[in-house]
Amino acid sequence: MMRLDGRVAVITGGARGIGAETARVFREAGAAVVTWDVDDGADQQVDVTNAKAVDAAVAATVAKLGGIDILVNNAGILRDAQLVKVKDGEVTGKVEEAQFDAVISVNLKGVFLCGQTVAPVMIKKGWGRILNASSVVGLYGNFGQSNYVATKAGVIGLTKVWRASSDRRASP
């Protein structure tokens, strides 16, 4: 296992599931880990859809631990529903706008806000890694998940752009 001694890692969506397991693995590797989540069980209660909350969480983490070396953008939600559901020629259901907006806000905007806020801390330090959790459905789609699939495809796109930007900065 790669050692992360002396590194500070922030895991969004770290209160349970994949985020909690990621935090456990990073701790075992020696990192100082801070989990952010809206649910109880996280080290910090952070709504990744709120720029001011993310700013405050970054400032608190930097003040307490001296920086952030690794950001794992893992926070995500599902609000599955068919785009439109039709029975006997009549629309009987659809993805509600609030469902769509909630998934876009957490799964895509949250990645953007956390990355945008943490990146300057890493740049100032001269080292950092941002890991964005996506899904194979971002490449292939999945029935009943228009909103979720759109966010995961968006995260893949953000990651490509951020990678290209970091490669360009590193070149002579």
Mean pLDDT computed over 92-107: 94
Residue with tokens 């009549």: 90
Structural domain contains residue 127: yes
Q: Name the pLDDT band for 149 (thresholds 50, 70, 90).
A: very high
Q: What is the pLDDT of residue 171?
A: 47
Range of the domain at 75: 8-162
What mean pLDDT, rounded, does the chain reach? 93
pTM: predicted TM-score of the whole model, two decimal places: 0.91
Question: Is residue 112 in a domain?
Answer: yes
Q: Which residues are catalytic?
A: 148
Q: Is residue 25 part of a domain?
A: yes
- 137 domain residue, yes or no: yes
pLDDT recorded at residue 170: 57
The letter for the amino acid at 131 is L
Domain CATH code at residue 91: 3.40.50.720
Specify if 21 maps to a domain.
yes
Q: Are strands 70-73 and 84-87 parallel, antiparallel or unpaired?
A: unpaired
Domain assignment of residue 28, yes or no: yes
pLDDT beyond 70 at 172: no
pLDDT single digits (tens) 107-143: 999 999 999 999 999 999 999 999 999 988 888 888 8
Taking alpha carbons only, the member of 8, 9, 7, 12 closest to residue 113 is 12
CB-CB contact of 128 with 121 (8 Å):
yes
The Cα 66–Cα 129 span in angstroms is: 16
Short-list 72, 81, 74, CA closest to 38:
74
Looking at the domain assignment, is residue 167 inside a domain? Answer: no
**Total count of domains within the chain:** 1
- Residues 29-46 have pLDDT tens digits of 999 999 999 988 889 899
